[in-house]
Structure 1
Amino acid sequence: MFALLLINAGSVVPVHRIVNSIWGSSPPNSVMATLHSYVSRLRKSIGDTTAGRRENLLTVRSVTPGYVLDIAPHQTDVDAFETAVENGRLRLAEGDLAVARDTARAAMDLWTGTPYGELASYEFAAQESERLEQLRLQGVRIWADACLGLGQYDEVIRELDKEVRRNPMLEQLGIRLMLAQYHTGQPAQALLTYERIRSHLATELGADASKELRILHQAVMRQDLTPPHTAPDPMDGPRGRPQPLGSPRPAEQDRGPGPGRAEPPPWATQLVGRESEMAQLGSFVGEGDRMRTLLMIGEQGVGKTRLLKEFEKELTSAGTAVVWAHCTEAPGAPDYQVWHRIVSKLLRTRGRQLDSLSSEVRVNLSVPNQERPMVDSGERTLVEHLGFQDAVCQLLLAAAEEPLALFIEDLHYADIHTLELLHLLAKEVYTAQLVVIGTVREHCVRSRPQLKHAVAALLCADAVESMHLTALSPADTRTLVQWRDEAPVSGDLVLRLHRATGGNPYLLTGLLRSRDVADDQEDLLDSLPFDMQVVLECRLAEPPAEVITILEICAVIGPVIDRRLLASVLVLRGTTGSVNDALQTGLLVSNPADPNDLRFSHGLVRDLLLARVDTRLRAQLRHSVAQALANETAGAPYS
């Protein structure tokens, strides 16, 4: 009973669930008296253990309709273990490999044996033990990825060789072991590891190795692998962020434009399906000589920047100067970072117009002069914050005596003071010939309460509008494909590409750069350029582990997911998190016509999730789905 309450610490466990978990369908005749006796003895045991301590770390309370175990925060090994794994995942996603390695190692060191091993005959304990084992394996993968990124191959071999020999079905760990063996000059050992896994899967499950493992095997055979710890190309995203493991060396022409590389083909620069948005932007700017603010909201890769670049051409041809600034995701970055960039650019480009700024305004802007050096905005007092905000308003009033447009990208990375200042501008600088357009990712607005509140407050202000940029329609997808091929294309190819990308222009143009995209037998995930695979990997690194688990279950269910079936599987597996948590990521979307009809925003996301799921876990998830369907057939509703 203590194990059941501990697994659900802080939550009320109903009496009927306690009885069913301990005795199943055959409880004793005096089950309530027995249960009360268990509770009494448990309370006495806890009291004897904690006697003499100042604070009571454990208490068992009776709360309708059952019992709850109250435990002080951060007092259990499981809590410390889960926290360490999650912190390691976050540090790995940020590219902080050394910290990710050490944090994941600390989690692994907490593991001393099979949790609840003595209670393996009880289903609730077995389920929790399996959950923790999957979390342990995630911690091992995080540790291995960080070590591979740091070039510490020998450590990976020592740790993972034991894991894979113990359970050859762990394909994801096998992939990392093969990489370490290959990069220590042992390609033959890497091939033996592959054969051990492949033969075990064939013998035990009658299944073939996963596509990811087979691709790595072929790359080892060709000796065509790039060391994971090599310095990433600037086009591949933030410095130090880990690249997908097991990826063959990418061809230069598939890496996108950059120094020394070919420019994108003409069709890839065409603006497709944005006629109404361009018209909206034109009318937005033409509404008179007063300040206007627009928030452009859309998912990553939907084309916000591309649309702004096209609109910039119209503004500059009409005599409006455009200043770009980007918010960046940098832990510990000072407040107003993006505004400092805007101030610096305006002082360089419109210096004469700003000569009239008073010394006080320049001081509040933290512009270096004889009276005051540059001040880190993160060290400002409240008075200095207000002074800086007012000074920016004064500067923009002076700078916008002639038409001016500010394009502020990635506001979802902005600090709260930056958003407050944007709100203030909409109220205080309304007489200026100024247009401010900010871009923000839709899923970030949904999942971050502080950002959602700031955006809502901004949209309530006068002269502030929003534009929701959605994916391309199938018809627009067809147009883009036809531009590439300069000929009519089949409806099947258009539908296949649209399902894979969800009409996301960034992913669509990436697939169209592949020569094999028209091949019906070609896996579209394999056709995606390497830099775009990195983007998808990093996108999947954003949600917490429990949400990734839900998305993996969705991937196994299929391209179309019944919400009730998903909820039933989550209950059967005792999964934390909810369907709404998965929807907030933007990776899973619901059909507006039927809220119970869920699907992935991009089919490529599902393909990538399936490629990352071990064969053993995939079989377990399929079993849970089959069990949920069987329950429904037997008359038990999904829930």
Structure 2
Amino acid sequence: MSDVFTGMTPERTSGEKETGSIPPWELRVFGSLTALHAGRSLPLGPLRHRALLGLLLVRLGNVVATGQLVDELWAGRPPRRPIATLQTYVSHLRRALASGGEQGRAEARVRHRSPGYVLEIDPELVDVHRFETLVDRGRRDLTHQRFRSARDELTRALALWRGDPYLELTSYGPIADENERLEQLRLTAVETRAGACLAIGEADSVVTTLYPEVQRNPTRERCVGHLMSGLYLLGRQAESLRLYEQTRRHLAEELGVDPGAELQRVHSDILNQRLPVSEPPLSAGSCVTTDRSAAPASPPPAETPANPPEPAPAPSADVPTPLPERRLRRPRRPVFGGGTVDRSGSRTLRPPRGARSRGALVGRDRELAVLGGHVLDALEGGSHLTAVLGELGVGKTELVQELARGLQELLQEVVWGRCTAGEGVPAYWVWAQIFRQLAVSRPEAFRKAEARFGSLLAPLILTPESGLRTVNSDAPSARARFLTQDAMCETLLSLAADDPLVVVLEDLDQADESSLELLGLLRTRLHCEPLSIVVTADDTAVAADFMGGNAVAEALGDSRTRSVRLGGLSPWDTRELVAGHTAADVPDDVLGLLHGRSRGNPYFLHQFIAAVGDPGLLGDRTAVQNALADVPLGVRQALGRRLAGLPGPVLDVLRCCSTLGSAFAFDLVDDVMGARTDVESAIGTATRCGLLRRAAQPPFLLSFHDELVQEVLLGELSGCDRARLRESVARALGQRRAAPHGEQEQRRDRVRRTTRLLAAPGTPNSARVPAPAPPHSA
């Protein structure tokens, strides 16, 4: 959330206490739990050491019993000597905290006090305490109608929120409870600040800030009410009333309740036009954004409690003003992610302020600009399907979420569905998610479609009031299935014709056959409708070949489909991501190790950083090398899911290859596996899937494209399996040496023939890989 409020904090008066200032020694809980001295991270140790500090910190100043700490640290499965181990942890924390104090004096102390331990520290040195203090002051100022002061205090408070508190420690019960409490307090601060901004006429800031919050927390009625008021004050009454209808339906469906009296009162005031409306500052055809490089406005003068609420100020070009109408207009030169102006003078789309603080989108500005341009073009009737491709963990979902936040800031509707594979998943499941959202956001239009097509839409959830789904156990005929898909297409096209629509289908490679058939039919029906479909999928070809059949390959390979392919981050972007995640000063050689091991995959990079433990250890090359020697559990699981779609014979061949070192000859694999396995076909499949690659120079050795895949496959083998395979390798090598000359020539001919097949057009990486040194060659 901090980026939302960057540059908005005015100077404090000289006599006022600097609660929002950063002390030289600080304990941070927003993001990862970190102790800082003069900007340097202190070595708090592995995860469980920091968990001990977190458990004491959430009860700051109170004694926590030794037995309670043991239960919470080890969740009922303590080590053989838990008390001694706990004392070791305490000793380590004491040394770590003392290392940052002045002249050896610890700013934070872990003291033994019967029957347990207590953490003693000046609360002003803990960022969460300063956050709570500023929130309390802001709420008090609002109560006394000091609106500008309330806004400023709450802006400072929210600027401290660098990420979810105790980010890596939420698996511990008490810390998870504290995390949830602080999140509710943050939402309260956001709502209170919005109330203060409305009182001084800053409706545009309210809309910009609250729209993503309402998307994530649709039951926060005060947040919804402030957003409705902000929309109305900007002259967008229809959107405000639509938001109320969406919230009312959501509360009825999820909780079975009506909106509270406060939200109903806001709704009534808008209907009766009891709020002053300011003139829209720009025409309906402009796409407006905030230029982050623009200098912030100077702070307003202080006000006294006697001052009445001020009228809305005149809009400024530096203040984000969303569209007065819902229909999106595409700029002539679509740029997403920048603050440029097109030739007609219209501003272009960009993600909302504060997106960086939530996360994680680093090094994707170019891809975001391209993806945004494709979507805007589709909404003007261009190519309607855009595929975001890349391996698992590379950031496909984060990129599309960033796009959706930018569109939603302009109140362009984005509906989202996630494909799910497995037994029991009903047909059209991802589309059922899409239609369920549309039934809530566009109730009148959806009811008309339901009345038009009737039972043909039965596979979808058509009664959001009851949440019921009718499951027909009888397999429909081909004609019935086509009529159902036709009705779904007509409904989507009709809704898009009324109002532009962006549909996101996540993990298309996991979609059921019926959902893919519907997508294929919809693609043939799209011409000039303002409908954009964005899909994400694994680009390893595993999904296209073995999970979704030809339908996935057909959709992604169509000439009208545009694609955005994500690769690993560059070393520079890796540096930025590590700095944002750890707030630690990491040497270049360690960054090189992290980047090389993760290949710039953001998810893998986070997993390896977590394996290191304390961010302070990232400065120790030896500690990092030791941590990177193993493959973290999260990476193993991700790569395991990627491999799970392969046929059994292909997996068997790959497991054999994993024991042969960094490079190996095809005929050696063939000899080890024997005649019972079609090695040539399996190697070809693995090469098409990007798992293996062939060297461009003789002797055309094979190697794994990713050493992590090789390590995961090798780790799946038991000790007996490894020994058996090594015996087979030794036996095959011995037989090859003893074979007559004629058999050796036949084997070489077969290897050359197979090599030509593997190097055929369409095989990835067939001619671009340098030849590695051959550890196992004939």
* TM-score after normalising by structure 1: 0.52
Match of 2:418 among 316, 321, 326: 326
Q: Deviations over 1:245-300 (max 9, x none)?
A: xxxxxx97386999658699988923223222112112102225226111222222
Task: Describe how 1:259-298 pairs up with structure 2 within 5 A.
Answer: 260=177, 269-287=359-377, 289-290=380-381, 292-298=384-390
Root-mean-square deviation (Å) = 4.4
- Report the counterpart of residue 593 of structure 2 in structure 1: 496
- C-alpha distance in structure 2 between counterparts of 1:259 and 1:534, whole Å: 24
- C-alpha distance in structure 2 between counterparts of 1:593 and 1:482, whole Å: 40
- Report the counterpart of residue 579 of structure 1 in structure 2: 683
1:322 Cα deviation from its structure 2 partner:
0.8
Unaligned 5+ residue runs, structure 1?
1-182, 188-250
Q: Deviations over 1:186-210 (max 9, x none)?
A: x9xxxxxxxxxxxxxxxxxxxxxxx
Determine if contact 2:395/2:602 at 8 Å carries over to the other structure: yes
Determine if contact 2:693/2:704 at 8 Å carries over to the other structure: yes
1:329 Cα deviation from its structure 2 partner:
1.4
- C-alpha distance in structure 2 between counterparts of 1:457 and 1:253, whole Å: 44
- Report the counterpart of residue 465 of structure 1 in structure 2: 562
The 1:525/1:412 distance shift into structure 2, 3 A limit, reads: farther
1:308 matches 2:395: no
1:602 Cα deviation from its structure 2 partner:
4.0
1:426 Cα deviation from its structure 2 partner:
1.9
The 1:297/1:590 distance shift into structure 2, 3 A limit, reads: farther
- C-alpha distance in structure 1 between counterparts of 2:699 and 2:533, whole Å: 36
- C-alpha distance in structure 1 between counterparts of 2:652 and 2:517, whole Å: 36
Task: Describe how 1:55-70 pairs up with structure 2 within 5 A.
Answer: none
- Report the counterpart of residue 535 of structure 2 in structure 1: 438
- Report the counterpart of residue 69 of structure 2 in structure 1: none
The 1:527/1:379 distance shift into structure 2, 3 A limit, reads: closer
Determine if contact 2:611/2:628 at 8 Å carries over to the other structure: no
Match of 2:441 among 323, 346, 349: 349
- C-alpha distance in structure 1 between counterparts of 2:699 and 2:604, whole Å: 26
Determine if contact 2:671/2:732 at 8 Å carries over to the other structure: yes
1:580 match: secondary structure: helix
Task: Describe how 1:386-405 pairs up with structure 2 within 5 A.
Answer: 386-400=482-496, 401-405=498-502
1:567 matches 2:665: no
1:574 Cα deviation from its structure 2 partner:
6.0
1:335 match: secondary structure: coil
Higher relative contact order (CA 8 A, sep 6+): 1
Task: Describe how 1:352-431 pairs up with structure 2 within 5 A.
Answer: 352-357=444-449, 359-366=451-458, 374=470, 376=472, 379-400=475-496, 401-431=498-528
Determine if contact 1:323/1:407 at 8 Å carries over to the other structure: yes
2:590 match: secondary structure: helix
Match of 1:253 among 159, 169, 174: 169
1:622 Cα deviation from its structure 2 partner:
3.9
- C-alpha distance in structure 2 between counterparts of 1:592 and 1:405, whole Å: 44
Greater Cα shift, 592-601 or 497-506: 592-601
Q: Deviations over 1:58-102 (max 9, x none)?
A: xxxxxxxxxxxxxxxxxxxxxxxxxxxxxxxxxxxxxxxxxxxxx
- Report the counterpart of residue 236 of structure 1 in structure 2: none
The 1:425/1:256 distance shift into structure 2, 3 A limit, reads: farther
- C-alpha distance in structure 2 between counterparts of 1:533 and 1:256, whole Å: 23
| AA of the residue aligned to 1:289 | E
| AA of the residue aligned to 1:272 | V
- C-alpha distance in structure 1 between counterparts of 2:695 and 2:599, whole Å: 13
1:281 match: secondary structure: helix
1:594 Cα deviation from its structure 2 partner:
9.5
| AA of the residue aligned to 2:577 | L
Determine if contact 1:361/1:391 at 8 Å carries over to the other structure: yes
1:538 Cα deviation from its structure 2 partner:
4.5
How many equivalent pairs are there? 391
- Report the counterpart of residue 217 of structure 1 in structure 2: none
Determine if contact 1:296/1:440 at 8 Å carries over to the other structure: yes
Q: Using the aligned pairs only, state the percent identity.
A: 31
1:394 match: secondary structure: helix
- C-alpha distance in structure 2 between counterparts of 1:446 and 1:305, whole Å: 17
- C-alpha distance in structure 1 between counterparts of 2:670 and 2:559, whole Å: 46
Task: Describe how 1:604-619 pairs up with structure 2 within 5 A.
Answer: 604-619=708-723
| AA of the residue aligned to 2:373 | S
| AA of the residue aligned to 1:555 | S
1:331 Cα deviation from its structure 2 partner:
1.3
The 1:324/1:256 distance shift into structure 2, 3 A limit, reads: farther
Determine if contact 2:381/2:527 at 8 Å carries over to the other structure: yes
- C-alpha distance in structure 1 between counterparts of 2:537 and 2:489, whole Å: 22
1:432 match: secondary structure: coil
Greater Cα shift, 443-452 or 356-365: 443-452
Greater Cα shift, 318-327 or 496-505: 496-505
- C-alpha distance in structure 1 between counterparts of 2:596 and 2:366, whole Å: 24
1:335 Cα deviation from its structure 2 partner:
1.8
| AA of the residue aligned to 1:605 | V
1:436 match: secondary structure: strand
Match of 1:550 among 649, 653, 658: 653
Instruction: Select the structure that is richer in helix.
Output: 1
Q: Deviations over 1:587-627 (max 9, x none)?
A: 44557899945444543333333334344443443455456
| AA of the residue aligned to 1:390 | D
Determine if contact 1:299/1:443 at 8 Å carries over to the other structure: yes
The 1:255/1:625 distance shift into structure 2, 3 A limit, reads: farther
| AA of the residue aligned to 1:387 | L
The 1:416/1:565 distance shift into structure 2, 3 A limit, reads: same
- C-alpha distance in structure 2 between counterparts of 1:496 and 1:301, whole Å: 19
* TM-score after normalising by structure 2: 0.43
- C-alpha distance in structure 1 between counterparts of 2:591 and 2:437, whole Å: 44
1:405 match: secondary structure: strand
The 1:589/1:353 distance shift into structure 2, 3 A limit, reads: farther
The 1:377/1:309 distance shift into structure 2, 3 A limit, reads: farther
- Report the counterpart of residue 522 of structure 1 in structure 2: 626
The 1:472/1:451 distance shift into structure 2, 3 A limit, reads: same
